[in-house]
Amino acid sequence: MKILIYSPINLQEWGGAEIALANLSKHLAILGHEVIFITPSHTSIIRLDISDIIKDFEKNNVKLIIIDKFLSISNMKRFYDLIRYVDIIYFNNLFAHHEFMILFLSKISRRPIISVYQEPFLHNPNILHKIYVDVIKRYILRFYDGHHVLNLDYERYLISHRCKNILMIPNGIHIKSHNDKEKNKKFNILFVGRLAKQKGIDMLLNIIEMINSKYDYNVEFHIVGSGELYDLIYDFSIKYNNVKYYGFLSGIELENLYDKANVILIPSVWETQGMVSNEAQMCGTPAIVTNITGLKDTVIDGITGIIVQSNTPQNFLLAIEKIYILWNHDYEKYVKISNNARRYASKYKWDNISQNIETFFQKVLIEYQKR
Residue 125 sits in a domain of what CATH number? 3.40.50.2000
- The predicted pLDDT at position 72 comes to 75
Q: What is the mean pLDDT of each run of 10 residues along the chain (371 residues)?
A: 95 91 97 96 86 94 87 82 97 90 94 93 77 85 96 93 94 80 87 95 96 85 95 96 94 93 95 92 96 92 96 95 95 95 93 96 96 84
Tell me, yes or no, whether 313 and 361 share the same domain: no
- The predicted pLDDT at position 71 comes to 65
Tell me, yes or no, whether 277 and 142 share the same domain: no
Does any domain span residue 177? no
Distance CA 157, CA 222 (A): 36
Tell me, yes or no, whether 259 and 360 share the same domain: no
Tell me, yes or no, whether 137 and 208 share the same domain: no
Does any domain span residue 92? yes
- Count Cβ atoms below 10 Å from residue 371 Cβ, excluding itself: 7
Tell me, yes or no, whether 200 and 247 share the same domain: yes
- The predicted pLDDT at position 21 comes to 96
Per DSSP, 329 falls in state H
Does any domain span residue 362? yes
Tell me, yes or no, whether 243 and 323 share the same domain: yes
Does any domain span residue 71? yes
- The predicted pLDDT at position 217 comes to 67
- The predicted pLDDT at position 70 comes to 65
Tell me, yes or no, whether 6 and 150 share the same domain: yes
Distance CA 8, CA 31 (A): 25
Does any domain span residue 110? yes
Tell me, yes or no, whether 195 and 335 share the same domain: yes
Q: What's the number of domains the chain is made of? A: 2
Q: Are 293 and 272 in contact (CB under 8 A)?
A: yes
**Helix, strand or coil for residue 292?**
coil
Give the list of residues 6+ apart from residue 8 with CB closer than 8 angstroms, or none. 40, 70, 92, 94, 95, 98
Does any domain span residue 31? yes
Q: Are 236 and 208 in contact (CB under 8 A)?
A: yes
Does any domain span residue 124? yes
Does any domain span residue 182? no
Strand-pair category, 187-192 with 287-290: unpaired
- The predicted pLDDT at position 125 comes to 72
Tell me, yes or no, whether 303 and 338 share the same domain: yes
- The predicted pLDDT at position 348 comes to 92
Q: Which domain holds residue 58?
A: 2-172+349-369
Tell me, yes or no, whether 204 and 260 share the same domain: yes
Tell me, yes or no, whether 291 and 354 share the same domain: no
- The predicted pLDDT at position 331 comes to 93
Whole-structure pTM value: 0.90
Tell me, yes or no, whether 83 and 106 share the same domain: yes
Q: Are 354 and 28 in contact (CB under 8 A)?
A: yes
